[in-house]
Chains A and B, each alone.
Chain A
Protein backbone atom coordinates (compact mmCIF):
# COMPACT_ATOMS: atom_id res chain seq x y z
CA UNK A 1 0.00 0.00 0.00
CA UNK A 2 1.16 3.56 -0.71
CA UNK A 3 2.79 5.30 2.23
CA UNK A 4 2.21 8.90 3.25
CA UNK A 5 4.36 10.96 5.61
CA UNK A 6 2.29 13.21 7.86
CA UNK A 7 4.15 15.87 9.87
CA UNK A 8 2.60 15.84 13.37
CA UNK A 9 3.64 19.08 15.03
CA UNK A 10 5.73 21.12 15.89
CA UNK A 11 2.59 23.23 16.36
CA UNK A 12 -0.25 20.92 17.32
CA UNK A 13 -3.17 21.50 19.73
CA UNK A 14 -2.25 18.55 21.97
CA UNK A 15 1.37 19.57 22.42
CA UNK A 16 2.03 22.35 24.90
CA UNK A 17 5.56 22.48 23.54
CA UNK A 18 7.04 22.03 20.06
CA UNK A 19 8.13 18.57 18.93
CA UNK A 20 7.62 17.12 15.50
CA UNK A 21 6.78 13.50 14.75
CA UNK A 22 7.06 12.49 11.10
CA UNK A 23 4.41 9.80 10.91
CA UNK A 24 4.71 7.29 8.11
CA UNK A 25 1.20 6.05 7.43
CA UNK A 26 -0.42 3.30 5.45
CA UNK A 27 -3.99 4.52 5.14
CA UNK A 28 -4.86 5.37 8.79
CA UNK A 29 -2.28 3.06 10.36
CA UNK A 30 1.14 4.24 11.54
CA UNK A 31 4.05 2.16 10.28
CA UNK A 32 7.01 4.32 11.19
CA UNK A 33 7.90 7.42 13.22
CA UNK A 34 10.82 9.84 13.05
CA UNK A 35 11.00 12.38 15.88
CA UNK A 36 12.43 15.83 15.22
CA UNK A 37 13.58 17.74 18.27
CA UNK A 38 15.55 20.95 18.69
CA UNK A 39 12.90 23.66 18.41
CA UNK A 40 13.42 25.17 21.86
CA UNK A 41 17.02 24.51 22.77
CA UNK A 42 18.13 27.38 25.03
CA UNK A 43 21.73 26.49 25.76
CA UNK A 44 21.22 26.25 29.52
CA UNK A 45 24.17 23.88 29.98
CA UNK A 46 26.51 26.46 28.47
CA UNK A 47 24.91 29.32 30.41
CA UNK A 48 25.55 27.34 33.61
CA UNK A 49 29.28 27.45 32.94
CA UNK A 50 29.21 31.25 32.82
CA UNK A 51 27.24 31.80 36.05
CA UNK A 52 28.63 31.63 39.58
CA UNK A 53 27.76 28.15 40.90
CA UNK A 54 25.35 29.45 43.55
CA UNK A 55 23.27 31.33 40.99
CA UNK A 56 22.94 28.20 38.85
CA UNK A 57 20.17 27.02 41.19
CA UNK A 58 17.86 29.64 39.69
CA UNK A 59 18.98 28.75 36.18
CA UNK A 60 18.44 25.02 36.75
CA UNK A 61 14.95 25.73 38.04
CA UNK A 62 14.17 27.23 34.67
CA UNK A 63 15.10 24.11 32.70
CA UNK A 64 11.53 22.95 33.19
CA UNK A 65 8.52 24.98 34.25
CA UNK A 66 6.77 22.04 35.90
CA UNK A 67 9.36 20.14 37.87
CA UNK A 68 11.57 23.14 38.63
CA UNK A 69 12.05 22.14 42.25
CA UNK A 70 13.48 18.74 41.28
CA UNK A 71 16.07 20.34 39.01
CA UNK A 72 17.25 22.65 41.78
CA UNK A 73 17.22 19.73 44.24
CA UNK A 74 19.30 17.55 41.93
CA UNK A 75 21.81 20.34 41.35
CA UNK A 76 22.09 21.22 45.04
CA UNK A 77 22.50 17.56 46.05
CA UNK A 78 25.27 17.23 43.46
CA UNK A 79 27.15 20.28 44.72
CA UNK A 80 26.64 19.21 48.37
CA UNK A 81 28.04 15.76 47.57
CA UNK A 82 31.03 17.35 45.91
CA UNK A 83 31.71 19.77 48.76
CA UNK A 84 30.98 17.12 51.47
CA UNK A 85 28.22 19.16 53.09
CA UNK A 86 25.92 17.52 55.60
CA UNK A 87 22.39 18.91 55.11
CA UNK A 88 20.32 19.35 58.32
CA UNK A 89 17.60 16.72 58.62
CA UNK A 90 14.79 19.28 58.82
CA UNK A 91 15.91 20.65 55.44
CA UNK A 92 15.84 17.14 53.97
CA UNK A 93 12.23 16.70 55.07
CA UNK A 94 11.29 20.11 53.70
CA UNK A 95 12.88 19.15 50.39
CA UNK A 96 10.73 16.02 50.25
CA UNK A 97 7.68 18.15 51.02
CA UNK A 98 8.22 20.52 48.08
CA UNK A 99 9.40 17.75 45.75
CA UNK A 100 6.21 15.78 46.31
CA UNK A 101 4.09 18.92 45.87
CA UNK A 102 5.80 19.40 42.49
CA UNK A 103 5.09 15.79 41.58
CA UNK A 104 1.43 16.17 42.48
CA UNK A 105 0.90 19.30 40.43
CA UNK A 106 2.88 17.90 37.51
CA UNK A 107 0.80 14.71 37.40
CA UNK A 108 -2.42 16.71 37.73
CA UNK A 109 -1.39 19.01 34.90
CA UNK A 110 -0.61 15.99 32.76
CA UNK A 111 -3.89 14.29 33.64
CA UNK A 112 -5.75 17.42 32.56
CA UNK A 113 -3.86 17.53 29.28
CA UNK A 114 -4.58 13.83 28.65
CA UNK A 115 -8.30 14.39 29.24
CA UNK A 116 -8.14 17.38 26.91
CA UNK A 117 -6.36 15.32 24.21
CA UNK A 118 -9.37 13.06 23.78
CA UNK A 119 -11.87 15.83 24.21
CA UNK A 120 -12.94 15.19 27.81
CA UNK A 121 -13.20 18.88 28.68
CA UNK A 122 -15.04 18.54 31.97
CA UNK A 123 -12.44 16.16 33.44
CA UNK A 124 -9.73 18.57 32.29
CA UNK A 125 -11.45 21.42 34.16
CA UNK A 126 -12.01 19.33 37.30
CA UNK A 127 -8.40 18.14 37.41
CA UNK A 128 -7.01 21.63 36.99
CA UNK A 129 -9.41 22.91 39.63
CA UNK A 130 -7.96 20.36 42.06
CA UNK A 131 -4.45 21.31 40.95
CA UNK A 132 -5.14 24.90 41.98
CA UNK A 133 -5.28 23.80 45.64
CA UNK A 134 -1.79 22.29 45.31
CA UNK A 135 -0.49 25.47 43.68
CA UNK A 136 -1.98 27.51 46.52
CA UNK A 137 -0.10 25.34 49.04
CA UNK A 138 3.05 25.91 47.04
CA UNK A 139 2.57 29.69 47.05
CA UNK A 140 1.68 29.73 50.72
CA UNK A 141 4.76 27.77 51.80
CA UNK A 142 7.41 28.90 49.33
CA UNK A 143 6.25 32.23 47.92
CA UNK A 144 5.71 31.15 44.33
CA UNK A 145 3.20 28.91 42.64
CA UNK A 146 5.52 26.96 40.34
CA UNK A 147 9.13 28.04 40.64
CA UNK A 148 9.54 27.65 44.37
CA UNK A 149 13.20 28.76 44.59
CA UNK A 150 13.48 27.31 48.08
CA UNK A 151 16.66 25.28 47.58
CA UNK A 152 20.07 26.57 48.50
CA UNK A 153 23.35 24.74 48.66
CA UNK A 154 23.34 23.43 52.22
CA UNK A 155 19.60 23.31 52.87
CA UNK A 156 16.44 25.24 52.15
CA UNK A 157 15.48 28.91 52.44
CA UNK A 158 12.06 28.76 54.02
CA UNK A 159 10.62 26.97 57.00
CA UNK A 160 7.13 25.67 57.66
CA UNK A 161 5.83 26.41 61.15
CA UNK A 162 3.18 24.55 63.10
CA UNK A 163 0.35 26.86 62.07
CA UNK A 164 1.22 26.65 58.39
CA UNK A 165 1.59 22.87 58.55
CA UNK A 166 -1.91 22.63 59.94
CA UNK A 167 -3.24 24.81 57.14
CA UNK A 168 -1.44 22.63 54.58
CA UNK A 169 -3.07 19.53 56.06
CA UNK A 170 -6.49 21.17 55.83
CA UNK A 171 -5.92 22.11 52.19
CA UNK A 172 -4.68 18.61 51.36
CA UNK A 173 -7.81 17.13 52.95
CA UNK A 174 -9.85 19.47 50.77
CA UNK A 175 -7.86 18.28 47.73
CA UNK A 176 -8.34 14.63 48.63
CA UNK A 177 -12.06 15.12 49.04
CA UNK A 178 -12.29 16.74 45.58
CA UNK A 179 -10.08 14.10 43.96
CA UNK A 180 -12.00 11.23 45.54
CA UNK A 181 -15.30 12.72 44.48
CA UNK A 182 -14.68 13.85 40.94
CA UNK A 183 -11.36 12.58 39.54
CA UNK A 184 -10.66 9.05 40.75
CA UNK A 185 -14.11 7.51 40.02
CA UNK A 186 -14.05 8.98 36.50
CA UNK A 187 -10.60 7.61 35.73
CA UNK A 188 -11.37 4.17 37.14
CA UNK A 189 -14.85 3.73 35.69
CA UNK A 190 -15.42 5.98 32.70
CA UNK A 191 -15.81 4.02 29.44
CA UNK A 192 -14.62 6.99 27.31
CA UNK A 193 -11.20 7.00 28.97
CA UNK A 194 -10.86 3.22 28.72
CA UNK A 195 -11.90 3.26 25.07
CA UNK A 196 -9.10 5.67 24.25
CA UNK A 197 -6.33 4.29 26.47
CA UNK A 198 -6.74 0.57 27.22
CA UNK A 199 -4.56 -1.52 24.91
CA UNK A 200 -3.19 1.58 23.14
CA UNK A 201 0.55 2.15 22.86
CA UNK A 202 1.71 -1.07 24.47
CA UNK A 203 5.27 -1.17 25.75
CA UNK A 204 6.28 -4.60 27.03
CA UNK A 205 8.54 -5.12 30.03
CA UNK A 206 11.39 -6.38 27.80
CA UNK A 207 11.09 -3.39 25.45
CA UNK A 208 10.96 -0.94 28.37
CA UNK A 209 14.14 -2.39 29.87
CA UNK A 210 15.91 -2.61 26.52
CA UNK A 211 15.07 0.98 25.54
CA UNK A 212 15.93 2.32 29.00
CA UNK A 213 12.54 3.87 29.65
CA UNK A 214 12.24 5.80 32.92
CA UNK A 215 9.60 6.94 35.37
CA UNK A 216 5.90 6.08 35.06
CA UNK A 217 6.51 4.83 31.50
CA UNK A 218 8.80 2.13 32.92
CA UNK A 219 6.67 1.43 35.99
CA UNK A 220 3.54 1.12 33.81
CA UNK A 221 5.30 -1.77 32.05
CA UNK A 222 5.88 -3.69 35.25
CA UNK A 223 9.41 -2.69 36.27
CA UNK A 224 9.76 -1.47 39.84
CA UNK A 225 12.35 1.23 39.35
CA UNK A 226 12.23 4.62 41.00
CA UNK A 227 15.11 6.89 42.01
CA UNK A 228 13.43 7.49 45.35
CA UNK A 229 14.44 3.92 46.16
CA UNK A 230 18.02 5.25 46.36
CA UNK A 231 16.84 7.08 49.52
CA UNK A 232 18.07 10.58 48.79
CA UNK A 233 16.77 13.50 50.91
CA UNK A 234 14.49 12.06 53.62
CA UNK A 235 13.00 9.12 51.71
CA UNK A 236 14.94 6.73 53.92
CA UNK A 237 13.16 7.89 57.07
CA UNK A 238 9.77 8.29 55.40
CA UNK A 239 9.93 4.97 53.55
CA UNK A 240 9.01 4.43 49.95
CA UNK A 241 7.57 1.68 47.73
CA UNK A 242 7.27 2.26 43.96
CA UNK A 243 3.90 1.92 42.27
CA UNK A 244 3.86 -0.64 39.46
CA UNK A 245 1.29 -1.59 36.85
CA UNK A 246 1.88 -4.50 34.51
CA UNK A 247 -0.32 -3.88 31.45
CA UNK A 248 2.17 -1.54 29.72
CA UNK A 249 -0.52 0.42 27.84
CA UNK A 250 -1.56 4.08 28.07
CA UNK A 251 -4.12 3.24 30.75
CA UNK A 252 -1.48 1.56 32.93
CA UNK A 253 0.71 4.66 32.72
CA UNK A 254 -2.31 6.80 33.64
CA UNK A 255 -3.05 4.60 36.64
CA UNK A 256 0.58 4.77 37.82
CA UNK A 257 0.41 8.57 37.80
CA UNK A 258 -2.98 8.74 39.49
CA UNK A 259 -1.81 6.39 42.23
CA UNK A 260 1.38 8.42 42.60
CA UNK A 261 -0.71 11.53 43.27
CA UNK A 262 -2.24 9.73 46.26
CA UNK A 263 1.14 8.33 47.28
CA UNK A 264 2.68 11.83 47.18
CA UNK A 265 -0.16 13.07 49.36
CA UNK A 266 0.69 10.42 51.97
CA UNK A 267 4.41 11.22 51.74
CA UNK A 268 3.71 14.93 52.29
CA UNK A 269 1.59 14.21 55.36
CA UNK A 270 4.24 11.84 56.71
CA UNK A 271 7.00 14.40 56.06
CA UNK A 272 5.02 17.07 57.94
CA UNK A 273 4.38 14.84 60.94
CA UNK A 274 7.89 13.33 61.10
CA UNK A 275 9.78 16.59 60.53
CA UNK A 276 12.42 17.03 63.24
CA UNK A 277 13.23 20.38 64.85
CA UNK A 278 16.44 22.14 63.98
CA UNK A 279 18.22 24.30 61.44
CA UNK A 280 17.03 24.49 57.86
CA UNK A 281 20.39 25.26 56.26
CA UNK A 282 24.11 25.16 56.94
CA UNK A 283 26.53 27.79 55.76
CA UNK A 284 28.63 26.52 52.89
CA UNK A 285 31.97 28.12 52.16
CA UNK A 286 34.53 27.27 49.54
CA UNK A 287 34.26 26.32 45.92
CA UNK A 288 33.33 23.03 44.27
CA UNK A 289 36.14 20.88 42.99
CA UNK A 290 35.86 17.42 41.45
CA UNK A 291 33.04 15.70 39.63
CA UNK A 292 29.82 14.13 40.73
CA UNK A 293 26.68 12.53 39.34
CA UNK A 294 23.42 13.34 41.11
CA UNK A 295 20.12 11.56 40.46
CA UNK A 296 16.57 12.29 41.61
CA UNK A 297 13.15 11.06 40.57
CA UNK A 298 11.32 13.73 38.63
CA UNK A 299 7.56 13.35 37.91
CA UNK A 300 8.54 11.99 34.48
CA UNK A 301 11.39 9.75 35.58
CA UNK A 302 15.03 9.74 36.44
CA UNK A 303 16.84 13.08 36.27
CA UNK A 304 20.64 13.05 36.10
CA UNK A 305 22.99 15.97 36.73
CA UNK A 306 26.68 15.58 36.03
CA UNK A 307 28.58 18.43 37.68
CA UNK A 308 32.27 19.12 37.27
CA UNK A 309 33.91 21.85 39.31
CA UNK A 310 37.48 23.12 39.05
CA UNK A 311 37.89 25.05 42.29
CA UNK A 312 36.68 28.38 40.86
CA UNK A 313 33.34 30.14 41.30
CA UNK A 314 32.21 28.84 37.90
CA UNK A 315 31.60 25.21 37.00
CA UNK A 316 33.61 23.56 34.28
CA UNK A 317 30.73 21.45 33.02
CA UNK A 318 27.09 20.84 33.84
CA UNK A 319 25.36 18.04 31.97
CA UNK A 320 21.66 17.47 32.41
CA UNK A 321 20.08 14.13 31.50
CA UNK A 322 16.31 14.44 31.41
CA UNK A 323 13.61 11.73 31.47
CA UNK A 324 11.77 12.81 28.31
CA UNK A 325 14.92 12.33 26.26
CA UNK A 326 15.18 8.79 27.67
CA UNK A 327 11.52 8.07 26.91
CA UNK A 328 11.47 9.13 23.24
CA UNK A 329 12.89 5.74 22.02
CA UNK A 330 10.04 3.97 23.87
CA UNK A 331 7.56 6.26 22.12
CA UNK A 332 8.94 5.15 18.76
CA UNK A 333 8.10 1.54 19.69
CA UNK A 334 4.61 2.38 21.00
CA UNK A 335 3.40 4.28 17.96
CA UNK A 336 3.83 1.86 15.00
CA UNK A 337 0.68 -0.21 14.56
CA UNK A 338 -1.67 2.33 16.13
CA UNK A 339 -4.22 4.46 14.32
CA UNK A 340 -3.58 8.10 13.45
CA UNK A 341 -6.30 9.24 15.89
CA UNK A 342 -4.49 7.52 18.79
CA UNK A 343 -1.19 9.33 18.24
CA UNK A 344 -2.00 12.33 20.54
CA UNK A 345 -3.03 10.12 23.45
CA UNK A 346 -0.08 7.74 23.12
CA UNK A 347 2.38 10.61 22.76
CA UNK A 348 0.97 12.29 25.85
CA UNK A 349 1.10 9.00 27.78
CA UNK A 350 4.88 9.34 28.17
CA UNK A 351 4.29 12.88 29.55
CA UNK A 352 6.64 14.63 27.13
CA UNK A 353 8.38 17.73 28.48
CA UNK A 354 10.24 19.16 25.53
CA UNK A 355 11.70 22.11 27.45
CA UNK A 356 13.42 19.59 29.75
CA UNK A 357 14.45 17.43 26.85
CA UNK A 358 16.23 20.19 24.94
CA UNK A 359 17.46 22.31 27.86
Chain B
Protein backbone atom coordinates (compact mmCIF):
# COMPACT_ATOMS: atom_id res chain seq x y z
CA UNK B 1 0.00 0.00 0.00
CA UNK B 2 2.61 2.64 -0.98
CA UNK B 3 -0.03 5.29 -1.81
CA UNK B 4 -0.95 5.48 1.86
CA UNK B 5 2.58 6.49 2.84
CA UNK B 6 2.24 10.29 2.35
CA UNK B 7 -0.92 10.32 4.51
CA UNK B 8 0.77 8.25 7.22
CA UNK B 9 3.85 10.48 7.23
CA UNK B 10 1.71 13.64 7.29
CA UNK B 11 -0.35 12.41 10.22
CA UNK B 12 2.72 11.22 12.07
CA UNK B 13 4.32 14.66 12.13
CA UNK B 14 1.30 16.99 12.14
CA UNK B 15 -0.27 18.43 15.27
CA UNK B 16 -3.60 17.05 16.50
CA UNK B 17 -6.74 19.00 15.53
CA UNK B 18 -8.31 18.46 18.94
CA UNK B 19 -7.60 20.47 22.08
CA UNK B 20 -6.35 19.03 25.36
CA UNK B 21 -9.78 19.83 26.72
CA UNK B 22 -9.75 20.41 30.48
CA UNK B 23 -6.50 22.39 30.16
CA UNK B 24 -7.21 24.23 26.91
CA UNK B 25 -10.73 25.55 26.47
CA UNK B 26 -12.25 27.26 23.48
CA UNK B 27 -13.64 30.58 24.71
CA UNK B 28 -17.28 31.18 23.77
CA UNK B 29 -18.09 33.81 21.17
CA UNK B 30 -18.94 37.26 22.57
CA UNK B 31 -22.56 36.83 21.40
CA UNK B 32 -23.03 33.52 23.24
CA UNK B 33 -25.97 33.30 25.62
CA UNK B 34 -25.19 32.17 29.16
CA UNK B 35 -26.10 32.71 32.78
CA UNK B 36 -28.25 35.65 33.89
CA UNK B 37 -27.15 38.54 36.07
CA UNK B 38 -29.68 40.79 37.77
CA UNK B 39 -28.78 44.41 38.42
CA UNK B 40 -30.26 45.15 41.85
CA UNK B 41 -30.01 48.92 41.27
CA UNK B 42 -31.95 49.03 37.99
CA UNK B 43 -34.53 46.32 38.77
CA UNK B 44 -37.86 47.44 40.24
CA UNK B 45 -39.15 43.88 40.84
CA UNK B 46 -41.99 44.27 38.34
CA UNK B 47 -41.98 40.52 37.58
CA UNK B 48 -42.09 40.80 33.78
CA UNK B 49 -39.16 38.36 33.45
CA UNK B 50 -40.94 35.81 35.62
CA UNK B 51 -44.10 36.02 33.50
CA UNK B 52 -42.39 35.60 30.13
CA UNK B 53 -39.84 32.96 31.16
CA UNK B 54 -40.67 29.81 29.13
CA UNK B 55 -38.99 27.55 31.70
CA UNK B 56 -40.31 29.19 34.91
CA UNK B 57 -36.73 29.63 36.05
CA UNK B 58 -37.27 33.07 37.64
CA UNK B 59 -39.51 33.71 40.65
CA UNK B 60 -39.90 37.34 41.74
CA UNK B 61 -40.99 38.00 45.32
CA UNK B 62 -41.95 41.67 45.51
CA UNK B 63 -42.86 41.58 49.22
CA UNK B 64 -39.69 39.80 50.34
CA UNK B 65 -37.61 41.81 47.80
CA UNK B 66 -35.87 38.74 46.39
CA UNK B 67 -35.50 37.06 43.01
CA UNK B 68 -35.02 33.32 42.87
CA UNK B 69 -33.17 32.26 39.74
CA UNK B 70 -32.67 28.60 38.91
CA UNK B 71 -29.77 28.27 36.43
CA UNK B 72 -30.51 24.55 36.01
CA UNK B 73 -34.04 25.20 34.79
CA UNK B 74 -32.97 28.18 32.67
CA UNK B 75 -32.80 27.42 28.92
CA UNK B 76 -30.67 30.52 28.18
CA UNK B 77 -33.10 31.78 25.56
CA UNK B 78 -32.67 35.47 26.44
CA UNK B 79 -36.40 36.18 26.47
CA UNK B 80 -36.18 37.93 29.87
CA UNK B 81 -33.23 40.09 28.77
CA UNK B 82 -35.30 41.43 25.86
CA UNK B 83 -38.50 41.68 27.86
CA UNK B 84 -37.09 43.58 30.85
CA UNK B 85 -38.52 47.14 30.80
CA UNK B 86 -35.65 48.46 32.95
CA UNK B 87 -32.88 46.56 31.08
CA UNK B 88 -31.74 45.18 34.43
CA UNK B 89 -30.88 41.67 33.22
CA UNK B 90 -27.65 40.87 31.40
CA UNK B 91 -26.31 37.60 30.07
CA UNK B 92 -22.93 36.08 30.72
CA UNK B 93 -21.19 34.28 27.85
CA UNK B 94 -20.71 31.19 30.02
CA UNK B 95 -23.54 28.96 31.13
CA UNK B 96 -23.85 27.53 34.59
CA UNK B 97 -21.23 24.84 35.35
CA UNK B 98 -22.38 21.35 36.43
CA UNK B 99 -22.96 20.91 40.16
CA UNK B 100 -23.73 18.15 42.63
CA UNK B 101 -26.66 20.01 44.16
CA UNK B 102 -28.97 21.81 41.77
CA UNK B 103 -29.48 24.89 43.89
CA UNK B 104 -31.41 28.05 43.12
CA UNK B 105 -29.69 31.39 43.34
CA UNK B 106 -31.38 33.91 45.60
CA UNK B 107 -30.75 37.55 44.73
CA UNK B 108 -31.64 39.80 47.67
CA UNK B 109 -32.51 43.44 47.05
CA UNK B 110 -31.81 46.24 49.56
CA UNK B 111 -34.93 47.54 51.38
CA UNK B 112 -37.02 50.02 49.42
CA UNK B 113 -36.26 53.69 50.14
CA UNK B 114 -39.65 54.89 48.89
Contacts and interface: CB of A to CB of B under 8 A. Distances in A.
Interface of A: 51, 54-55, 58-59, 129, 136, 139-144, 147, 149, 157-158
Interface residues of B, number: 15
A55 B54 contact: yes
A58 B75 contact: yes
A58 B33 contact: no
B77 interface: yes
Nearest to A149: B77
Contacts of A54: 52
The main secondary structure of chain B at its interface with chain A is loop
A129 B17 contact: yes
Given A59-B54, A140-B31, A157-B82, 19 more contacts: A51-B54, A54-B52, A55-B52, A55-B79, A58-B54, A58-B77, A129-B17, A136-B29, A139-B28, A139-B29, A139-B31, A140-B29, A143-B29, A143-B31, A144-B32, A144-B76, A147-B75, A149-B33, A157-B78
Interface in B28-83: 28-29, 31-33, 52, 54-55, 75-79, 82
A79 to B, nearest CB: 15
User: 9 tightest CB-CB pairs across the interface, nearest first?
Assistant: A143-B33, A55-B54, A58-B54, A140-B29, A149-B77, A143-B31, A139-B29, A58-B77, A143-B32
A100 B82 CA distance: 26
Contact of A139 (B32, B54, B75, B79): B32
A221 B95 CA distance: 44
